[in-house]
């Protein structure tokens, strides 16, 4: 049996880090790049990491899917903003049993892929991790690292468990879940307040957010609303998550959430995936989420103006 | 009986406009200026106004209170931010029966003056008006104009009614109220959402705020919270105020609220008077104001960072 072929689509912080770990672990990993193609082909990938830095060179760098060909696994690490381009990007990489694992943030990504590729191809992963891409091919992994993966609308199967084993063997903290949808909401408990307030409060990092009591209270109130929203659509998350997520954030110090980095760089922010879709789903199910709706409105306004 | 002497303390948009109207109407008005003193002394006051433009030259321009001396009326039009300096500024202007009318925004200004001058000297006025200061001594009055005045903790008395008459004779739309505290909350129904969102949504004018349905819904939700907050502290404002205040705003077109102008100019914003004090008073009385509290937190954060 030939070794599994893995494609990484999207080589920002998440794609470089997890793809780099898998390649460093001896797996056959192909990176589909765009702007950083020449640089990564020439210089490979370098990672600073709290779990020990590593570098990969040469890497299998590609600027088109057709030069990669069919893969067993595709990890999607593009911003959700780029989804309309995704079906065409993925087409040359697909075979009958390819598993596409979207590592994107927010809600709606599995549904989008299922619609275009068929649900049997679709899985998702939540990256509970602090990683920033600091230069082309270079990442800085500063906290956490767990990736939690599940299949779309069904329990984790053998393909996903095999990927989990490869990840673990490559030094990635990894688990599978039979309830991917709940796990997505669990991640939103952090992303919604911290990514959102980092922008809405004027471009501040997580340390600055937690430095002020009123702001920390707002973080907690937003987390409670996300938990209430999750409950409205059938996902029961414990209230204790609030305290735990605040405490896990303190050691991150001056970490800038990815949405803030995009915003400050003038790049599109995943407003609909992270804030819009959760608001729509939860309010349609009867939840009352005044702060979350307000944050969504402000972020829409802040990110759609010139 | 000598003509009443009126002092205008603070010569931004509000002070120049109302003081200018009173002077233009033939009253003895003295302007206490700081940065614009030389300019206004040399060039007077010019106003563009939907009620007909006017100019006043020469004006009684002063750079210290002692050159003005005791007055019958003092209109305070400084930002609330400057309150700590106010007692010393007012001291040379006071006599036994001086009425000090604060035209400042937000809550807490009458209380501050009462504490320092004695409550019998204190009245307040709410300016329901769109005025921008476009240059030293120059204002642009673009909508509305009503000033609603009341005395602090008591019905309007003869001194205030005499001022009302002078204002009317000078072409100022004016009324007195026996419930100044309710009137302050009524003004907040507009100031809290529009001044606040114009900053928090990224520096946008009232037309841009109302251009988006989700943003208009947020304006209305904030207005409902202000009305609920007012009710909690004993002031009954009608729900119909929401519709009326939104409709009165549409013709203002690209008007920038004064707080936004201050913010964009890097000047201090009256965050505590307009948002902080209403939040504190209403929540202490048991009101639940999630959006208003969140707006206050965001504005604090946006205005206290370099």
pLDDT, tens only, A88-115: 999 999 999 999 999 999 999 999 999 9
Asked if A116 is an interface residue toward chain B (Cβ–Cβ < 8 A), one would say: no
Nearest CA in chain A to B215: A297
* DSSP state letters, A32-57: E-STTHHHHHHH-EEEEETT--EEE-
User: Scanning the structure block, which residue is given the tokens 């902080």?
Assistant: B276
User: At a CB cut-off of 8 Å and minimum separation 6, what does B71 contact?
Assistant: B5, B6, B7, B30, B93, B94, B95, B98
Contact yes or no for B131/B140 (Cβ under 8 A): yes
The Cα A122–Cα A120 span in angstroms is 6
Across the interface, whether the CB atoms of A294 and B293 are under 8 A apart is answered no
All structural domains of chain B: 5-178 (3.40.50.720), 182-304 (1.10.1040.10)
| CA B233 and chain centroid, separation | 21
Put simply, the answer to whether A204 touches B301 (Cβ < 8 Å) is: yes
Catalytic residue positions of A, numbered: 187
Q: Is residue A43 pLDDT above 60, yes or no? A: yes
Q: Is the pLDDT reported for residue A1 higher than 90?
A: no
What is the complex's ipTM, to 2 decimals? 0.91
Are B301 and A212 in contact (CB < 8 Å)? yes
Mean pLDDT along residues A196-201? 98
Which of A214, A291, A298 is closest, CB to CB, to B290?
A291
What confidence score (pLDDT) does residue A306 get?
54
Residue pair A287/A229 in contact (Cβ under 8 Å)? The answer is yes
What average pLDDT does chain A have? Answer: 96
What's the sign of the alpha-carbon dihedral B62, B63, B67, B69? positive
From the list A217, A297, A305, the residue facing B218 with the nearest CB is A297
pLDDT digit string (tens) for A226-253?
Answer: 999 999 999 999 999 999 999 999 999 8
Mean pLDDT computed over A278-285? 98
Ramachandran region of residue A108, left (φ > 0), alpha (ψ -120 to 50) or beta?
left
**Chain B: residue whose CA lies nearest to A225:** B290
Task: Give dist(CA B178, CA A92) in Å, integer.
Answer: 77
Chain B contact set for A298 (CB, 8 A) = 197, 200-201, 298
Q: State the DSSP H helix or E strand holding residue A144, giving kind and residue range, or none if neither.
A: strand A138-151
| Phi, psi values for residue B107, rounded to 5° | -110, 150
Q: CA–CA distance from B122 to each of B75, B84, B97, B155 (Å)?
A: 10, 16, 10, 12
pLDDT at B289: 98
pLDDT score, position B305 = 65
B290 at A interface, C-beta within 8 A: yes
Segments of chain B with pLDDT less than 50? none
Contact flag B295-A290 (C-beta cutoff 8 Å): no
Residue pair A86/A115 in contact (Cβ under 8 Å)? The answer is: no
For residue B170, what pLDDT is reported? 97
Measure B281 CA to nearest chain A CA, in Å.
16
Q: Which residues of A touch B217 (CB under 8 A)?
A: 297
Q: Do B204 and A301 touch (CB under 8 A)?
A: yes
What are the C-alpha distances in Å from B29 to residues A250, B40, B75, B289? Answer: 57, 13, 10, 42
Instruction: Please state the three-class secondary structure of B39-67 as a single string.
Output: HHHHHCEEEEECCCCEEECCCEEECCHHH
Instruction: Count CA atoms closer than 13 A to B178's CA, side-chain side.
Output: 3
pLDDT at residue A2, as a whole number: 83
Q: Which letter does DSSP use for residue A137 in this model?
A: T
| Chain B residues 170-209 with a CB less than 8 Å from chain A | 197, 200-202, 204, 208
For the stretch B182-197, pLDDT in tens is 999 999 999 999 999 9
CA distance B228 to A41: 61
d(CA A120, CA A113): 10
Q: Is there a contact between B215 and A291 if contact means CB atoms under 8 Å apart?
A: no
pLDDT of residue B301: 96
User: Residue A172, Cα to own-chain centre: how many angstroms?
Assistant: 15
- Do the beta carbons of residue B144 and residue B129 sit within 8 Å? yes
Q: What does the pLDDT average to over A61-70?
A: 96
């Amino acid at each position: 049996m030939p070794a599994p072929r893995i494609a990484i689509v999207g080589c920002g912080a998440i794609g470089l880090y997890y793809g780099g770990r898998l390649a460093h672990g001896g797996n056959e990993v192909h990176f589909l790049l765009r702007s950083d193609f020449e640089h990564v082909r020439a210089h490979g990938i370098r990672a600073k990491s709290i779990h020990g830095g590593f570098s990969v060179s040469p890497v299998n760098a590609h600027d088109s899917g057709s030069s990669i060909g069919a893969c067993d696994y595709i990890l999607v690490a593009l911003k959700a903003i780029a989804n309309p381009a995704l079906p065409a990007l993925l087409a040359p990489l697909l075979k009958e049993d390819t598993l596409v694992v979207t590592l994107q943030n927010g809600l709606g990504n599995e549904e989008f892929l299922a619609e275009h590729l068929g649900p049997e191809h679709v899985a998702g992963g939540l990256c509970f991790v602090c990683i920033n891409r600091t230069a082309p091919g270079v990442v800085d992994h500063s906290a956490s690292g767990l990736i939690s993966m599940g299949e779309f609308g069904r329990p984790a199967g053998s393909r996903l468990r095999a990927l989990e084993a490869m990840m673990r063997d490559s030094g990635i903290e990894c688990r599978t879940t039979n309830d991917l949808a709940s796990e997505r909401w669990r991640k939103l408990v952090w992303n919604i307040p911290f990514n959102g307030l980092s922008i809405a409060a004027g471009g501040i990092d997580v340390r600055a957010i937690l430095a002020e009591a009123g702001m920390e209270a707002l973080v907690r109130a937003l987390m409670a609303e996300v938990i209430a929203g999750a409950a409205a659509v059938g996902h029961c998350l414990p209230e204790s998550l609030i305290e735990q997520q605040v405490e896990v954030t303190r050691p991150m110090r001056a970490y800038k959430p990815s949405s803030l980095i995009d915003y400050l760089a003038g790049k599109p922010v995943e407003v609909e995936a992270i804030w819009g879709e959760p608001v729509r789903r939860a309010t349609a199910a009867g939840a009352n989420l005044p702060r979350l709706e307000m944050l969504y409105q402000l972020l829409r306004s802040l990110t759609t103006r010139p």
